[in-house]
Amino acid sequence: MSRVIATARAALVVAALLLAPGVGAQVPEVQRVSPAEFSATLAGLRGKVVMLNVWATWCGPCLKEVPDLLAVEAELRADGLVLLGLAVDDAADAAQVVSFRQRYFPAFRTLQRDESASDALVSVVDTAWNEIVPTTYLIGRDGRVLRRIQGKLTREEFSKAAREALRAGT
């Protein structure tokens, strides 16, 4: 039953992600997800190249790179790139993630963790995650992780990595 609910919720998230046409448009609410819901959300994005950004409101380098990631997504969205955040702030700070996103990065489509451990969530894509933020994953159209990037890169470097991921999936 919980799996059905997770799948249904994930389908709503995916629909919102795919329908939102880009900068300036209505961006879906920040959704709190369990590992199962996160997994289902990613499954719903098969066919797209997903740039998954693991971030936190307390992480300075994370906050510096989000505008660059948004710019790369705007540049490559028509080619099939989807930027998706996963905030790993403490569950007690859930409201802060929502308001923080709204204030600083209103165009940033992001999920946030529920009561689950952040390691359990990120392990959906990377069982060897070492709790470093930011970590950005480029996930191919078939759902496989093509590249893990830890730490902030330049906009050009992110763009190059995203283009390589898009080429790898065609």
Give the residues lining the site for another protein (CB under 8 A): 56-63, 90, 92-93, 95-96, 98-100, 102-104, 117, 119-120, 123, 127-135, 150-152
Whose Cβ is closer to another protein: residue 13's or residue 59's? 59
Cis omega (within 30 of 0) for bond into 134: yes
Contact predicate 3/51, CB 8 Å: no
Sign of the CA dihedral with 15 first, then 93, 83, and 29 last: positive
Whose Cβ is closer to another protein: residue 15's or residue 117's? 117
Whose Cβ is closer to another protein: residue 88's or residue 166's? 88
Upper half-sphere CA count for residue 129 (Cβ side, 13 Å): 25
Whose Cβ is closer to another protein: residue 8's or residue 117's? 117
For tokens 């997800």, what's the residue? Answer: 33
Kindly state the smallest distance separating residue 152's Cβ from another protein, in Å.
4
The 10 Å Cβ neighbour count of residue 89 is 19
Kindly state the smallest distance separating residue 170's Cβ from another protein, in Å.
30
Kindly state the smallest distance separating residue 115's Cβ from another protein, in Å.
9
